[in-house]
A and B are shown apart, each in its own frame.
Chain A
Amino acid sequence: MWRALITALATLGLALPALAQEPGQGQGRGPLRIEITEGVTEPVPIAVPDFLTEDPQLAEFAAKIAGVVRADLAGSGLFRPIPATAFISPITSLDSPVEYRDWQAINAQALLTGKVLAKGDQLSVQFRLFDIFAEAPLGEGLQFTASENSWRRLAHKLADAVYSRITGEGGYFDSRVVFVAESGPKDARDKRLAIMDYDGANLSYLTQPGDLVLAPRISADGARVVYTSYATGRPRVTLMETDTLQTRLIEDPSGAMSFSPRFTPDGKGVLYSYASRGNTDLYQLDLTSGKRTRLTQAPSIETAPSFAPDGSRIVFESDRSGSQQLYVMQADGSDIQRISFGPGQYGSPVWSPKGDLIAFTKQHRGRFHIGVMRPDGSEERLLTASFLDEGPSWAPNGRVLMFTRETPGPAGGAQLFTVDITGRNLRPVPVFGAASDPAWSPLLE
């Protein structure tokens, strides 16, 4: 008995170290198995040499287009363009074999080569993208064509293609932003509706000085803008055709206020808040038929509605619980569920174009935050914190948010910022003058 017990223990003692080994030690039992759990989070080094051209008159376009591509990629925070001074191999032809070892030596992980051609009065840009360490092309070469005036869009399109191929996520560079351009002293701000490229370029104004405007939104096709106008002294939801700048009030009952408009996903309708007899509820207007549908009926204030991208649900803010919180309901106004339960107040929710997240403004203990949560209210994350951050708007790819940040004091002002939904890469949008209430368009066609 004792001998058996001791033998068993000795056997067990010998066996224990073997049992403790990790599986897959490679002793004739298959490959060695290693688990990597720690990595780094850094922008990907990418080489973008100036684009080639055989026409000296296009040299300026070639340099400018490559410059915008570099700026787009760097501005995303996901890429780090390598300075040209570090390059070893010159790019002399779009079709020459790539000297991968030269680019590996400077730690470039991707290489973008491009060529600018003239096609009548239009420009074409051809490009190729390479994975330097895999020593292979990343996708096939492509070519974009546009008029000379649209050279920046060519660059944005190209940058979107690069971004998409490397990250696996849709791009957002070829897009526009409608916003409120502000000027004048803080206590008497002049607010005009304006539109610009996502990066602040090509700024133009849509309304005259003196017309107080708020909360613009742009339709999915970019052809129309809906916003709140105070031109009549009261807030009125107003629709503008962006090509003609013609406007019309979509609600004009005497004595009533309408505000906080949003387009439906198909652009054929508008959601908005309508205040009558001291009560504010949500309504949907069919822009074609003029039919108006009431969605909520509560004595509280319901506002800031935003459709899910599939049009099935609506998120909005309401103070029905006694404080400002977020709620989700079906598109017909049924099945209202509260989704925000954290400390503080929540407002201005916006559903992500991917449908996976809802961005919001949160106020807690005197600080404002931009945050995101799942549509069921879970996984809330705050991305920013400041004296006043508000009014998030999604980039077309659902990866980046643009919002308004206001600085305190008499000299303070509103400025547009972007932040990645990881909370990284917070950066100001270079806009001339003060700006607020951004509304990011979908990718342009």
Chain B
Amino acid sequence: MNAGLAISALGHGAVLLWILLDIAPRPDDRFILPEAVPVRLITSDAPELAAPSAIAAPDAPAPQDIPQPAAPPGSAERVTPLPVPPPPDRALPAELPQAALRPEPSLRPDIPPVPPRPAEAPPASVEQIIPDAPPLAPQSSPQPAPRPQPEAISAAPNDALEPPSDAPALPETVVPAPVPQAPLTAQERDGLRLAVGRCWNFGALSIEAAQVTVTVAMDMQPDGRPVSSSLRLASYEGGSAQAARQAFDVARRAILRCAGEGYPLPREKYAQWQEIEMVFNPDKMRGR
């Protein structure tokens, strides 16, 4: 009986040991990150709005008064540009009027305007957005260990740098800790995926552009709507820059068109979807 138990235990142990060794990462099993794709900003080849010129200005006599050659109608002339700001994808967000970043107050009275988010959101902003989060984090950070004093410190050339011996002690710095949150569930991610996919229309893409995978980066508002001016082409692969631009236009249109009153994302997890990168991968759509 004991011998059988020992044999059984040894056998199970061997199996478990084998499992452990087998699932240990081996060089060829490791997940290989794809190489970074060179990013080419759309801004780089955006056509500039035509400055009013003799050809373009409506008051200028040139295009209307100069006799045009008879048909065929070959070349086109520019029409006076509209006095509009540059399109969102062709200008850095900082150059856009702030009003474009805010939701329309009259249409969305329940959602406060969202100020432009700084490049690096401090952890405190997370706490403000999620007031009901349980206080799991420690109330204060542990006291750092005292630094070792270099021996040469006594020879400090500037006494003014030395705090007076009777100066009050500095208050302890309290570093707010990030609030741990459950990750977005697969259902929540799928909800966003499906909502955007409904508006991702391949119908009018060139053959080449329909083969380009584009990654669109964007900032989100707490109500689930993207900040339209923040949509940008983060990277692309599988085609030329021009094709990527067309694919990006279609992806951006999909994101904005289906946003409606906001994508179905859990507000309490806003910190996790405050910034989103959407990869529009057309592999499965080819031939449809």
Contacts and interface: CB of A to CB of B under 8 A. Distances in A.
Interface string A1-16: 0100100110010000
B49 to A, nearest CB: 6
B75 to A, nearest CB: 8
Scoring A12, A128, A141 by chain B CB atoms within 10 A of each residue's CB, the highest score goes to A141
Contacts of B197: 36-40
Interface in B261-288: 269, 271-285, 287-288
A79 B81 contact: no
A193 B277 CA distance: 57
Given A31-B275, A150-B72, A143 B77 contact: yes
B20 A117 contact: no
A133 B257 CA distance: 6
A341 B86 CA distance: 53
Nearest to B180: A27
A289 to B, nearest CB: 31
B207 interface: yes
Contacts of A109: 201, 253, 257
B221 interface: no
A37 B80 contact: no
B206 A40 contact: no
A36 B201 CA distance: 12
Interface in B31-81: 47, 49-50, 58, 63-64, 67-68, 70-74, 76-81
Given A24-B277, A36-B278, A97-B84, A157 B184 contact: no
A34 B72 contact: no
Contacts of A147: 70-71
B205 to A, nearest CB: 6
B273 A167 contact: no
Interface string A104-140: 1001010000000101101010111001011111011
A169 B245 CA distance: 12
Interface residues of A, number: 73
A432 interface: no
B47 A139 contact: yes
A246 interface: no
Contacts of B88: 134-136
Contact of A25 (B183, B252, B277): B183
B76 A142 contact: yes
Scoring A9, A44, A136 by chain B CB atoms within 10 A of each residue's CB, the highest score goes to A136
Contacts of B78: 140-143
A141 B253 contact: no
A41 to B, nearest CB: 5
B253 A39 contact: no
Given A37-B283, A79-B204, A140-B79, A27 B72 contact: no
Nearest to A18: B183
A389 to B, nearest CB: 20
A94 B49 CA distance: 16
Scoring B74, B82, B254 by chain A CB atoms within 10 A of each residue's CB, the highest score goes to B82
Contacts of A201: none
Given A27-B181, A34-B193, A137-B87, A42 B20 contact: no
A149 B279 contact: no
Contacts of A409: none
B242 interface: yes
A141 B53 CA distance: 13
Nearest to A109: B253
Contact of B77 (A128, A145, A168, A444): A145
A41 B77 contact: no
Majority secondary structure, B binding face: mixed
A82 B136 CA distance: 55
Contacts of A166: 204
Contact of B285 (A34, A41, A168, A445): A41
B20 A34 contact: no
B275 A146 contact: no
A28 B202 CA distance: 33
Given A117-B64, A131-B253, A134-B88, A32 B277 contact: yes
Given A36-B280, A161-B76, A134 B252 contact: yes
> For the side of the interface on B, what is the size category?
35 or more
Contacts of B199: 40
Scoring A43, A122, A137, A143 by chain B CB atoms within 10 A of each residue's CB, the highest score goes to A143
Interface in A16-57: 21-22, 24-28, 30-44
Given A34-B278, A134-B89, A137-B82, A42 B201 contact: yes
Contacts of A5: 13, 16-17, 20
B208 interface: yes
B200 A39 contact: yes
Given A31-B217, A36-B193, A37-B284, A142 B253 contact: no
A405 to B, nearest CB: 23
B277 A134 contact: no
A421 interface: yes
A153 interface: yes
A119 B202 CA distance: 40
Given A31-B276, A140-B49, A149-B71, A95 B82 contact: yes
Contact of A39 (B49, B50, B70, B285): B285
Interface of B: 13, 16-17, 20, 23, 47, 49-50, 58, 63-64, 67-68, 70-74, 76-82, 84, 86-90, 178, 181, 183-184, 189, 192-194, 196-209, 217, 228, 242-243, 245-246, 249, 251-254, 256-257, 269, 271-285, 287-288
Given A32-B277, A399-B207, 17 more contacts: A5-B20, A25-B184, A32-B272, A33-B277, A37-B284, A38-B197, A39-B200, A39-B285, A40-B199, A40-B200, A119-B64, A128-B79, A134-B228, A136-B87, A143-B63, A168-B245, A421-B207
28 contacts: A5-B16, A26-B184, A32-B277, A33-B279, A34-B196, A34-B279, A37-B282, A37-B285, A38-B194, A38-B285, A39-B200, A40-B197, A40-B201, A41-B202, A78-B203, A124-B63, A127-B79, A131-B87, A131-B253, A133-B257, A134-B253, A135-B87, A136-B84, A137-B49, A143-B63, A144-B77, A146-B73, A445-B72
6 smallest CB-CB distances across A and B, nearest first, come from A136-B87, A141-B79, A26-B272, A39-B200, A168-B246, A146-B73
Interface of A: 2, 5, 8-9, 12, 21-22, 24-28, 30-44, 78-79, 94-95, 97, 104, 107, 109, 117, 119-120, 122, 124, 126-128, 131, 133-137, 139-147, 149-150, 153-154, 157, 161, 166-169, 399, 421-422, 444-445
